[in-house]
Amino acid sequence: MKHVPTWLKTCALSIALPLASLPQTLTAEGEISMQDQAILTAIETMTSAFEAGNMDRVMQSYEPEAAIAFEPGQPISDAAMARAAFEGFAQVNPEFTYSGHEVIRAGDIALHIAPWSMVGQTPDGQEIRQSGLSVAVLRQQGDGSWRMVIDNPHGAHLMQR
């Protein structure tokens, strides 16, 4: 039998493993890298601020000209319009749950993918339930923090056609 190099075995194994079993990039010790944790913290901070109605903190999670898709295929890049949309949506007192996170980094750019579900309530008391796939592109800032450049919480809409 022909010798198969270790690196090739590793590549074949990584291709064979389902991506869902790899929630974040791991270090050799099996821990989440510090950069990936910083990206997840940026996402979690924005989500918590949104749930708390802290619109200043929500908007600080984005670069000034970020594109945010409040509706599938209709991104908004105007910060004032984005803030107004967030304020309107906050009226349902949303509570978000993520069922996993995947982070892919290339230098100072990162892709964050996460299935989410949301429960909220209309002003007249009617319960609202939504779910989707969040796809966000983040860029590392000069101070080392991460901000969103593109945010599409409707990443799965093309699959539902």
Give yes or no for residue 160 having a pLDDT over 80.
no
Within-domain flag for 15: no
pLDDT tens track for 51-78: 999 999 999 999 999 999 999 999 999 9
pLDDT tens track for 129-146: 999 999 999 999 999 999
Within-domain flag for 29: no
What is the predicted pLDDT for the residue at 1? 43
Confidence of residue 21 (pLDDT cuts 50, 70, 90): very low
Within-domain flag for 17: no
Type of residue found at 129: R
Number of domains in the chain: 1
CA distances (Å), 123 to each of 79, 85, 87, 131, 155, in order?
Answer: 25, 16, 14, 20, 27
Within-domain flag for 39: yes
Could you give the CA distance from residue 102 to residue 124 in angstroms, rounded to a whole number?
Answer: 36
What is the predicted pLDDT for the residue at 31? 67
Tokens 């821990």 found at: 31
pTM attached to this predicted model: 0.79
Within-domain flag for 95: yes
Domain enclosing residue 41, as ranges: 34-160
Within-domain flag for 149: yes
Give the mean pLDDT of 17-41.
Answer: 63
Which residues are 117's β-sheet partners?
A: 97, 131
What is the predicted pLDDT for the residue at 118? 97
What is the predicted pLDDT for the residue at 40? 96
What CATH code is carried by the domain that includes residue 104? 3.10.450.50
Residue pair 119/127 in contact (Cβ under 8 Å)? The answer is yes
What is the predicted pLDDT for the residue at 30? 52
